[in-house]
Structure 1
Amino acid sequence: MFSHVFLGTRDFERALAFYRPLMALLGVAERFCEPEKPWAGWQSSPGPRPLFLLGKPFNGEEHVPGNGQMVALLAADHAQVDQAHALALAHGGRCEGAPGLRPQYHANYYGAYFRDPDGNKLCVACHDSTAG
């Protein structure tokens, strides 16, 4: 369904320091990093799409996070959701919802919510009933 998702940043180096360990924890490989542009991308497996891209806005204007926008990343199990949330907070993220079951979405939905240092909202979620 998706070719790529692009998130903007005001401070590329700070954002890179946030996303590199998060994506590594989730097992998403970095495909490229071009600090001179600046932008970076991570590739899904088995790939090559969708890509998760991070960079300064193309139009050169200041990045402003949107209200009501969120990117949800897939976790293998509940422990990985917990670890991703803790890692995000340790790297400058802000909690928007602690890890836990959210049966209002579906019986097996286990997720955590946070904002990156630029204010972009993210979720890490697991949908597997056997992953607890």
Structure 2
Amino acid sequence: MADANPSILSHISLGSNRFDEAVAFYDQVLPTLGCRRILAHPGAVAYGREYPEFWVQRPHDGRPASVGNGSHIGFIAPDRDAVDAFYRAALAAGARDEGAPGPRPDYGEPYYGCFVRDLDGHKIEATFWDPNAHLE
């Protein structure tokens, strides 16, 4: 049976030790990619385009959140301009630079992206896969 949703993931959740600041950060950054706040519960906020795909939350077990070494979250951007806007908005909201927008030939010719660290230190990315990039 074919699924209309091309994604393989239901959602991603990141724990935060600075929950209110993290929510303010993502409220500022994710609209550059066409995402909005979809749900809010005490200690958890969900973002997405149509359904809750990305959650920021206080850890359920009450212990401090930690950052995964070697992991990152990649958000889909509709075009290169959105990647650039995401990067600018993230830095303006307090993110640390981990790689300015640009092509990443190691990831494939069509790949264009940027990397930042959010307020808790999670590595996040905006990326656009441009099927016409090889024609440039």
**How does the TM-score come out when normalised to structure 2?**
0.87
Task: Give the greater-gyration-radius structure (CA).
Answer: 2
Of residues 40, 44, 62, the one that matches 2:45 is 40
Number of residue pairs matched by the alignment: 127
Structure 1 residues 1-132: aligned runs within 5 Å: 1-34=8-41, 37-45=42-50, 48=51, 51-130=53-132
Once the 2 structures are TM-superposed, how far is the Cα of residue 44 of structure 1 from its aligned partner? 3.5
Identify the residue that residue 4 of structure 2 maps to in structure 1.
Answer: none
Q: Quick one: distance in 1 between partners of 2:77 and 2:86?
A: 9
Q: Quick one: distance in 2 between partners of 1:41 and 1:115?
A: 19
Once the 2 structures are TM-superposed, how far is the Cα of residue 129 of structure 1 from its aligned partner? 3.5
List runs of 5+ in structure 2 lacking aligned partners: 1-7
Please list the CA deviations of residues 21-49 of structure 1 after superposition, one character each: whole Å capped at 9, or x if unmatched.
21111111211122xx311001343xx3x
Please list the CA deviations of residues 65-115 of structure 1 after superposition, one character each: whole Å capped at 9, or x if unmatched.
110110000111111101100110110100001110011111110000000
**How does the TM-score come out when normalised to structure 1?**
0.90
Of stretches 118-127 and 25-34 in structure 1, the one that deviates more from structure 2 is 25-34
- Report the identity percentage: 35
Q: Which runs of 4+ in 1 moved over 6 A?
A: none
Once the 2 structures are TM-superposed, how far is the Cα of residue 130 of structure 1 from its aligned partner? 4.4
RMSD of Structure 2 on Structure 1 (CA): 1.6
